[in-house]
């Protein structure tokens, strides 16, 4: 094998550059060429690539984002037509042919569930692919944790730490809205580590009056403030998720947002304590990766490379209990949710008095 390609697709996260660097340096050690596909599936569908060598990846492992660019909208099997606006084309075959025309023999796709489903289609269309799982949501079946999750948890902890000092001064209820889509990992890990009093997850519908009573009890007990960590897709018993927008072209079209402001208002009315909402938003997945994500990115990148070189394809690499693993691309895409009955951190938090929204 002489030439391979690598791309990042879907929402970015810290640690992607470490994967790219691991692939490029591993390839350089075997005198192989590497092509970087630009801007996720935009580059795949439009033939936009760059040459990657030792020089281009120097020191990138400590940088956030992705040097190749990414997109969480375009999918190659449903790509917006250039000639007929408003219509879509299947560009999978074209993208495979164009990579082959450029001498590429295998492709590594670093992505979330949606992007790795596209990688499966590309694999089935004749370009061998290996998937590398990444997402701050930690909701992929292929790996626990996923690249980016650990840094995002630290970003959440740092932000809540800052909110606590001002909450203390003003005797306020601070509602913090945390990303993660339908999976509560980021809210649980970030909220717990930052000492949140109440943690509301998508996996457990919350009872608003019970949350209000808990807030009142904490304040009555002498604490000057309360931190409520709420997942962006958390919902009240019998209620609906709060959706901020629909991104029509996107594989996962729902974008969550707004539950924090709604809950802060409701808690202020129900408890009589002043409440404020903070949406941590994209700060959670921005900035430099921590050492864990640099190492995880490098391990998964070099493992994916080894598989590609040994002729393996149609698999996603990952870690399970700290060991490298691989699995076939799943046929269905389902987010991995917290097992709230079995999760060790949930049990610990419950034992320590953290309130999960239901009595
Ligand atoms: O999947 C990663 C993620 O950051 C989610 O936690 C969040 O809901 C979503 O992406 C935000 O998407 P966008 O960048 O399109 O606003």
Q: Which two tokens stand for residue 121?
A: 């289609």
Identify the active-site residue in 12, 39, 117, 137.
137
* Interval 87-99 mean pLDDT: 97
Give distance in angstroms: CA of 328 to centre of ligand 1: 25
SS3 5: strand
* Interval 244-256 mean pLDDT: 87
- The overall average pLDDT reported for the chain is 97
Give distance in angstroms: CA of 184 to centre of ligand 1: 14
Query: Is 113 one of the catalytic residues?
Result: no
Per-residue model confidence (pLDDT) at position 196: 98
pTM of the model: 0.97
Cβ 134 under 6 angstroms from ligand 1: no
Contacts of 229 (CB under 8 A, 6+ apart): 156, 160, 176, 178, 187, 190, 191, 194, 196, 198, 199, 200
Cβ 256 under 6 angstroms from ligand 1: yes
Alpha-carbon gap, residue 156 to 186, rounded angstroms: 8
Per-residue model confidence (pLDDT) at position 57: 98
Give distance in angstroms: CA of 11 to centre of ligand 1: 6
Q: Which of 179, 244, 249, 335 to mutate to test ligand 1, by most ligand atoms within 8 A of the CB atom?
A: 179
For 50-91, how does the pLDDT look when each residue is reduced to its tens digit (9 = 90+)?
A: 999 999 999 999 999 999 999 988 899 999 998 999 899 999
* Interval 281-290 mean pLDDT: 98
């Amino acid at each position: 094998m002489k030439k391979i390609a690598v791309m990042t697709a879907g929402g970015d996260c810290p640690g992607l550059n470490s994967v790219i660097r691991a692939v490029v340096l591993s390839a350089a050690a075997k005198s192989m060429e590497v092509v970087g596909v630009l801007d996720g599936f935009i580059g795949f569908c439009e033939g936009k690539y760059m040459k990657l060598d030792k020089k281009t990846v120097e020191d990138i492992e400590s940088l956030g984002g992705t040097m190749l660019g990414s997109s969480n909208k375009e999918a190659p099997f449903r790509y917006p037509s250039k000639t007929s606006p408003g219509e879509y084309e299947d560009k999978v075959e074209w993208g495979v042919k164009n990579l082959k025309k450029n001498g590429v023999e295998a492709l590594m796709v670093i992505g979330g569930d949606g992007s790795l489903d596209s990688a499966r289609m590309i694999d089935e269309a004749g370009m061998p692919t290996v998937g590398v799982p990444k997402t701050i949501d930690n909701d992929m079946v292929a790996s626990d944790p996923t690249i980016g999750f650990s840094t995002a948890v630290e970003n959440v902890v740092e932000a809540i730490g800052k909110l606590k000092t001002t909450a203390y001064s003003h005797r306020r209820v601070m509602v913090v809205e945390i990303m993660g889509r339908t999976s509560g990992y980021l809210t649980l890990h970030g909220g717990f580590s930052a000492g949140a009093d109440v943690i509301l997850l998508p996996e457990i519908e919350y009872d608003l009056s019970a949350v209000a009573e808990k807030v009142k009890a904490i304040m009555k007990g002498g604490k000057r403030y309360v931190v409520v960590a709420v997942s962006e897709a958390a919902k009240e018993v019998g209620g609906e998720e709060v959706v901020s927008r629909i991104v029509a072209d996107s594989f996962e079209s729902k974008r969550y947002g707004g539950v924090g402001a709604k809950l802060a208002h409701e808690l202020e009315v129900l408890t009589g304590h002043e409440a404020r909402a903070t949406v941590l938003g994209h700060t959670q997945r921005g900035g430099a990766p921590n050492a864990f994500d640099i190492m995880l990115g490098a391990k998964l990148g070099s493992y994916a490379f080894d598989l590609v070189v040994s002729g393996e394809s149609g698999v996603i690499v990952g870690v399970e209990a700290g060991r490298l693993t691989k699995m076939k691309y799943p046929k269905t895409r389902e987010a991995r949710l917290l097992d709230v009955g079995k999760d060790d951190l949930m049990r610990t938090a419950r034992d320590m008095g953290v309130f999960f929204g239901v009595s």
